[in-house]
A and B are shown apart, each in its own frame.
Chain A
Amino acid sequence: MSRITKEEVKHVANLARLAVSEEEAEVFQKQLDAIISFAEQLNELDTDGIEPTSHVLDMKNVLREDVPTKGLPVEEVLKNAPDHENGQFKVPSIIE
C-alpha cells in the first residue's frame, strides 16, 4: 500500500504553496512514497518514554536586555524587492 497518494501529494504541495502538474505529482508520489517507506524503519524502535530532541545543546530561553536599536533603512530593505511602491512591497490585489 502507498504511504502517500497522488491526491495527498497535491494537498501537501498546496500547503507548501507549490504548483505541481499531474505529471510532476506522479513522479513526486513515487519518490516520496519510497522515502516515507524507508523512514518507517524508525517504527522498529520502541521510543516510549524517550524525550524528543529538538535542540542538541542544553540551552533554554536565551534572554537579553530589550534595548531598541535602529532597523535597516527602508531603501536598503526594498533593494531586492521584485516590486515596490511608496516604500512598501507591492503584490497583486488580495481583496476582490
Chain B
Amino acid sequence: MSLFDQKMTDLQELLHKKELSVTDLVKESYDRIKDVDGKVQAFLTLDEENALLQAKELDRKLINGEQSGSLFGMPIGIKDNIVTKDLRTTCSSKILENFQPIYNATVMEKVQAANAVTIGKLNMDEFAMGSSTENSYYQKTKNPWNLDRVPGGSSGGSAASVAAGEVLFSLGSDTGGSIRQPAAFCGVVGLKPTYGRISRFGLVAFASSLDQIGPITRTVEDNAFLLQAISGVDPMDSTSANVDVPDFTKGLTGDIKGMRIAVPKEYLAEGVKEEVRQSVLDALKVLEKLGATWEEVSLPHSKYALATYYLLSSSEASANLSRFDGVRYGYRAEDAETLIELYKRSRSEGFGDEVKRRIMLGTFALSSGYYDAYYKKAQKVRTLIKKDFEDVFEKYDVIVGPTTPTPAFKLGENVDDPLTMYANDILTIPVNLAGVPGISVPCGFSNGLPLGLQIIGKHFDEASIYKVAYAFEQATDYHKQKPTL
C-alpha cells in the first residue's frame, strides 16, 4: 500500500499526530519514482535535493507547531509547460532543452505558498499539442494500467504520475481536453477550470483564449483543495477573472437531490464505443439513485467543434510560438550566416513535426486571402457552440457525458494520421471553446482500461461539478482501484 492511497486530509492528520513526516512523504515519492518510472516514464526532470531540503524545513516547522498552508507537505508534480524558477522547463521540446526559467509561474508561487513540495517536471506532448504524449521530444510516457497503451495527452505525464502513485497530485494544462482526456485514460480525477479562474502567467502559451491550468488528483476532494490553492485573479494575467473564489469543498456532501442533469445526445452518438456509452448510462443510474434527474438534450453544433478548434488553436499557436527564434532563449542552430537563416534553422531543427504542422495551419488560416474564410468563420462558429451551452444551462445544473469516445489506445496506433488523433478530443474540445469548466472522474473499466465520466458546469460553477463528482465517487469504488506496476 502506498501513502498516496490516502487523501490529503488523512495524510495531514498523520503529519499533525507526528506519525508521519514530510520527509517520509517526499522519500515515498522518489522511492516510487525509482521503482516504476523506468516503466512509466512520466518525469522529465527531478528536483530531489531541493525537495528534501524543503521537506526538512517543513518538518522543523511541524515540530515547532508552525505548520501552515493548505497543501502542507504534499508532494506535487508539475507539467513541463509551467515555468519553475531555476528548474528546467522544456515543454517537451528540443527548442527548450536547456531552458532555466528566471521566474515562477503564478501557480508555482501559490503551491509554494501553500507549502506543497515540488517533486519534478512531467512529460507532455510538445507544447501541449497532442492527445497521447507521443509528441514529446524526450520520451514516451506509458499508461500505468497497461504499458502498451498511451496515457493520453497532452498532460500524459501529469495523469500517469498520479495514477502510478509517484506523487499525490499534479498540475496539468487543458486547451482542448489535455487534462480531462489523460485523466480518463489513467483512471484519475482531472479538472479544467473555467477560463479565467486561474492565472496563466508562466504557463507557456499554446492557444491563449483556450489554455487553462488545472489539478489532477486521485480523489475529488483533493482536486477541490488543489483548485482552491491555485485559483484567483492575478495582476500578471489580465485574462484572469476578478470573481469570488468560493469554498469548493463545501458542496462535498454526497447530497445531489433535485439536481438537474443534461445529457447531450451528440455525446453518446456514433463514434462513441459501446462500453463507453454503457458506462455513462450506468453512471446516470447511480446519479438518479442519489436523487438527481436527467434528460436528453442537444448541443447541435458539437460536430463543428473539432474543425473550429483546430483553426483557432493553431492560429493562436502560430502567433504564440513566434517567440522561439533562437535569440533570447532556447535552441540556436549553429553557423547560421544571416538572421533569417538563424530563425528558420533554429525553429526547423528545434520544433517537432506536429508543432510545425500546426504553426503552418495557423499561419495559413491567418494569411491574407484566407483570414475571413477560415479564422473569422471559426470564431463565428465558436459563438454558436458557446450559445449551445448557454441554452442548456438555462434549464440544467450540469451536463454529463463521456470524457473520451474510447479507452486508451495503443502506442503508435494513431501517430501517422493527424485527423484520427484529433478526433480523440471531440467530447472535450467544445468545453474549451465555450470556456466552461469540466471534470473527468473514473466511471468504469473496459478490458482493464479506465473510463472517464465528464461533468461540465456553468462559468465559474466548479462547485456544482465537484458536488456531483463527489457524490458519484462516494457511491462507486472505481477510484479505489489501482494499477499494478
**Which residues of A are interface residues toward B (Cβ below 8 A)?**
4, 8-9, 12-13, 15-20, 28, 31-32, 34-36, 38-45, 47, 50-57, 59, 62, 64, 72, 76-77, 79-83, 89, 91-94
The interface-forming segment of B271-279, B337-345, B472-480 is B337-345
Q: How far is the CA of A29 from the CA of B84 in the complex (A)?
A: 38
Contacts of B381 in A (CB 8 A): 42, 45, 47
Q: Report yes or no: A18 in contact with B347, Cβ–Cβ below 8 A.
A: yes
- Contact: B434 with A56, CB < 8 Å? yes
B contact residues around A15 at 8 Å (CB) = 363, 367
Identify the interface centre among B195, B351, B359: most chain A CB within 10 Å of its CB: B359
Which one, B345, B367, B384, contacts A45 given CB within 8 A?
A: B384
B342 touching A28 by the CB < 8 A rule? no
Choose from A19, A38, A80, A93 the contact partner of B348 (Cβ within 8 Å).
A19
Known: A50-B384, A89-B328. A32 touches B337 (CB 8 A): no
Q: Which residues of chain B have C-beta atoms less than 8 A from A52's C-beta?
A: 376, 379-380, 382-383
Given contacts A12-B367, A36-B364, A94-B339, contact A53 B383 (CB under 8 A): yes
Let me know if B360 and A45 touch, CB within 8 A. Answer: no
A-B contact pairs, 16 of them (CB 8 A): A12-B367, A18-B351, A18-B360, A19-B345, A28-B357, A34-B418, A34-B419, A38-B306, A38-B307, A42-B308, A51-B383, A54-B379, A59-B196, A77-B328, A80-B100, A91-B342
Pair B364/A91 contact, Cβ less than 8 Å: no
A-B contact count (CB 8 A): 159
**Among A17, A31, A81, contact of B328 (Cβ-Cβ < 8 Å):** A81
What residues on A are CB-neighbors of B418 within 8 Å? 31, 34-35
> Are A57 and B196 neighbours in the complex by a CB distance under 8 Å?
yes
**B340→A17 contact, CB < 8 A:** yes
Q: What is the distance, in angstroms, from A17's C-beta to the closest C-beta of chain B? A: 4
Contact B367 A17 (CB under 8 A): no
What's the minimum C-beta distance from B339 to chain A, rounded to whole angstroms? 5
* Given contact pairs A55-B239, A72-B103, a sample of 12 additional A-B residue pairs in the complex whose CB atoms are under 8 Å apart: A16-B363, A17-B322, A32-B361, A36-B361, A42-B311, A47-B381, A50-B383, A53-B382, A56-B435, A76-B102, A82-B327, A92-B337
Q: Which residues of A contact B327 (CB under 8 A)?
A: 81-82, 89, 91
Q: Does B172 contact A (CB under 8 A)?
A: no
CB contact between A4 and one of B209, B343, B364, B386 (< 8 Å): that residue: B364
Nearest to B241 among chain A residues (CB) is: A57
- Docked complex Cα distance between A12 and B241 (Å): 36
A71 CB, min distance to chain B CBs, angstroms: 12
Query: Once the chains bind, are B383 and A16 in contact (CB under 8 Å)?
Result: no
Does B336 sit at the interface, judged by CB under 8 A?
Answer: yes
A79 touches B100 (CB 8 A): yes
B326 partner residues in chain A, CB cutoff 8 A: 82
Asked if B239 contacts A39 (CB within 8 A), the reply is no
Point out the residues of chain A lying under 8 angstroms from B344, CB to CB. 17-19
A51: chain B residues within 8 A (beta carbon): 380, 383
Q: Does any Cβ of A come within 8 Å of B99's Cβ? A: yes
Of A34, A42, A44, most buried by chain B (CB within 10 Å of CB) is A42
Known A18-B344, A41-B304: A32·B364 in contact at CB below 8 Å: yes
B209 lies within 8 A of A55 (CB): yes
Q: Check if B136 is an interface residue, CB within 8 A of chain A.
A: no
The complex places the Cα of A55 from the Cα of B435 at a distance, in Å, of 9
Q: In the complex, A43 Cα to B372 Cα: how many Å?
A: 12
* Residues in B neighbouring A13, C-beta threshold 8 A: 360
Which residues from chain B contact A9 at a C-beta distance below 8 Å? 360
Contact between B382 and A39 (Cβ–Cβ < 8 Å)? no
Does A28 contact B360, Cβ atoms closer than 8 Å?
yes
In the complex, which residues of chain B have a beta carbon less than 8 angstroms from the beta carbon of A45? Answer: 301, 304, 381, 384
Complex interface residues of chain B between 368 and 384 (CB less than 8 A to chain A): 374, 376-384
B344 to chain A, nearest CB (A): 4
- B359:A80 contact, CB within 8 angstroms: no
Q: Which 3 A-B pairs have the closest CB atoms?
A: A56-B435, A52-B379, A82-B332
Minimum Cβ distance to chain B for residue A63 (Å): 9
Contact partner of A17 (CB less than 8 A), chosen from B196, B343, B364, B433, is B343
